[in-house]
Amino acid sequence: MVTGAGQGIGEAVTRALVAQGARVVAVDREPAGVEELAARYPDGQVVGRKLDVTDGAAVDALVDEVERTVGPLDILVNVAGVLRAAPVVDLTDTDWAETFAVNTTGVFHTSRAAARLMGGRRSGSIVTVGSNAAGVPRSSMAAYAASKAAATMFTKCLGLELARSQVRCNVVSPGSTDTAMQRQLWSDEAAARGVIEGDPSTYRVGIPLGRIAAPSDIADAVVFLVSDRARHITMHDLYVDGGATLRA
């Protein structure tokens, strides 16, 4: 199951998993994207469903339906996310609450539902798509960064709890990626060059590799972490940001 699969990274993850032979339940709170995605796979490799991850009861019900009608849930990828960009003094209570409801509480809802099943079967993999903003302060992104930091630590704690059950939980933390969310921060196409080169006025370094990630770059990292090639990797946070955070 892939959340936030209607566009961007979630869609790319869905396609990448299908290419590896998985049958994917693609979910999004806006159904049009996942329904269109499912229609491109007439053999049923993609099942589109509407889901608001902030609704715990709805998450539990859908996971139960997936188990009954599609098959055992072996992989969960948490991609659904929202961004409310504003200086802290201008952030509204609604901005803050909605950001955490999707980016953090949504991850809790889906991961809890999956973990209950995977733990009992002693098999499964959960990957949360976080952000490099979770580890580096960003101007006007306090709510987003804080929510992603919380989701990252939640996923690692879950991984510790599930380790004896052989269920692995990891994080992929993208940097700037060419998605609709990224483009909402741009005033024009020249803004992409600014992201690559950096902005000293906001204390933001650029991207050493000299390019903005494609959604497929993030999807490839997810596919690796859910595969048997990563069978001895859990509680890991894999940054896929072209070196933008200068992590040691």
Active-site residues, by number, are 144
The one-letter amino acid at 203: Y
Q: Measured in whole angstroms, how far is the alpha carbon of residue 153 from the centre of its chain?
A: 14
CA distances from 220 to 1, 35, 215 (A): 16, 23, 9
**173: which strand partners?**
239
Q: For the sheet containing 124-129, what is the strand order? A: 46-50, 24-28, 2-3, 75-78, 124-129, 167-174, 237-240
Going from the C-alpha of 41 to that of each of 19, 38, 49, 198, the distances in angstroms are 11, 5, 14, 40
Q: Is 11 helix (H, G, I), strand (E, B) or coil?
A: helix
Report yes or no: 33 and 95 within 8 Å, Cβ to Cβ. no
The token pair that represents 53 in the structure block: 């991850």
Residue type, 153: M
Provide the token pair at 107. Answer: 């991850």
**19-28 burial code (b ≥16 CB/10 A, e <16):** eeebebbbbb
Nearest to 169 by CA among 219, 240, 119: 119
